[in-house]
Amino acid sequence: MNYHQYYPVDVVNGPGTRCTLFVSGCVHQCRGCYNQSTQRLDSGTPFTQEAEDRIIADLNDTRIPRRGLSLSGGDPLHPANVADVLHLVKRVREECQGKDIWLWTGYCLDELNTAQREVIGYIDTLIDGKFEQDKADPSLKWRGSANQIIHTFTL
C-alpha cells in the first residue's frame, strides 16, 4: 500500500485530536472528488513497517493525547489496500487501548466483500458512499454529500 499524507496531530478529520492517514488508490472516480491526486494506487509513498510503527507510537504518546485514528484517502478499502489496512487496525486494537478508529470509504456498507468486511470488524465508525456532487452540503459533519452515511458500530 502507498499513502499520501500522514498527520500525527489532526483536529479536522473526525472527533477530537487524532492521527490521520490518507492512503493511495481509489476506483470510484467521483465527480468533484476533493482528493483526486490520491486516486492512483502507485501515487504517494510506500506504507512501510516504520510508518505503521510510528502511528502506533503516536497513538500511545501521552504527551499529546489522541482520541484515535482516522483512515481516509484514496480509499482504505480499495482491494489492494485491504490487507495492509487490516494489519494496521488489528495492531491499533491490540496495542492502543481506548483509541477509536474512523474510516472513510467510497463503497457502501452493503457492497463490501468478505475481506473488506473483516476490516469493519475492527473499527468504530464507517463513513460510506461515493461523493455525489448534487448532494454536496458543506454543513454536513464528517461527510461531503448527503448520500454518505455515518455508521457507528460502538458507543
In the complex, the residues that contact ligand SF4 under the rule CB under 6 A are 26, 28-30, 33-35, 38-39, 73-75, 106, 130-131
Cell (9 digits) for 68: 484515535
Q: Which residue is nearest to ligand SF4 (CB)?
A: 106
Q: Which is nearer to ligand SF4, 17 or 40 (CB)?
A: 40
Minimum distance of ligand SF4 from residue 150's CB (angstroms): 15
Q: Which is nearer to ligand SF4, 31 or 63 (CB)?
A: 31
CA dihedral 86, 87, 90, 91 (to 10 degrees): -150
Of 130, 127, 115, the closest CA to residue 39 belongs to: 130
Minimum distance of ligand SF4 from residue 118's CB (angstroms): 20
Of 47, 34, 49, 154, the closest CA to residue 104 belongs to: 34
Rg (CA), the chain: 14
Q: Which is nearer to ligand SF4, 37 or 48 (CB)?
A: 37
